[in-house]
C-alpha cells in the first residue's frame, strides 16, 4: 500500500491507484480522480457516484456494472458513454471504492 496526495488530500492507494479506505473519499477528491482519467464530472456522473457509495455502504462490496444498470435504470450503453472503456472500474475509482469483483 502506498500513500499519495491527490487534490490536497493524503490518501492510501493500492498498486492500481484505488483508494484502500473509502472513508478518505470526498467530492473534491472524486472530481480530481475523475480528471486524472479524463472525465469531467456532470450531475449524471455524481448521481452514479452517490449510488455506488450508498450501495457499497449497504452491501459491503462495490456494485457490478449490471447492478448499477438494473438498480439505477441507466442502460449499460449510457454507462459506457459516461465512463468510457471500463465503466465499472472507472466508476469505482472515481467513487473511492475497491474495484468490483470480476473486474480486470
Question: Which residue(s) pair with 55 in the sheet?
Answer: none
DSSP state of 20: S
| Nearest-angstrom CA–CA distance, 1 and 84 | 27
DSSP state of 68: H
Q: Which helix (H) or strand (E) holds 11?
A: strand 9-13
| Nearest-angstrom CA–CA distance, 38 and 55 | 25
From the candidates 2, 57, 59, 103, give the one annotated as an active-site residue: 103
Query: Is 102 assigned a catalytic role?
Result: no
Q: Which residues are catalytic?
A: 103
Amino acid at each position: 500500500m502506498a500513500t499519495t496526495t491527490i487534490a490536497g488530500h493524503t490518501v492510501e492507494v493500492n498498486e492500481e491507484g484505488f483508494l484502500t479506505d473509502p472513508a478518505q473519499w470526498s467530492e473534491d477528491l472524486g472530481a480530481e480522480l475523475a480528471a486524472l482519467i479524463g472525465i469531467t464530472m456532470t450531475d449524471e456522473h455524481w448521481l452514479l457516484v452517490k449510488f455506488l457509495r450508498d450501495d457499497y455502504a449497504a452491501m459491503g462490496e462495490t456494485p457490478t456494472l449490471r447492478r448499477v444498470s438494473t438498480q439505477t435504470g441507466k442502460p449499460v450503453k449510457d454507462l459506457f458513454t459516461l465512463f468510457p472503456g471500463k465503466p465499472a472500474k472507472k466508476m469505482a475509482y472515481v467513487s473511492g471504492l475497491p474495484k468490483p469483483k470480476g473486474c480486470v
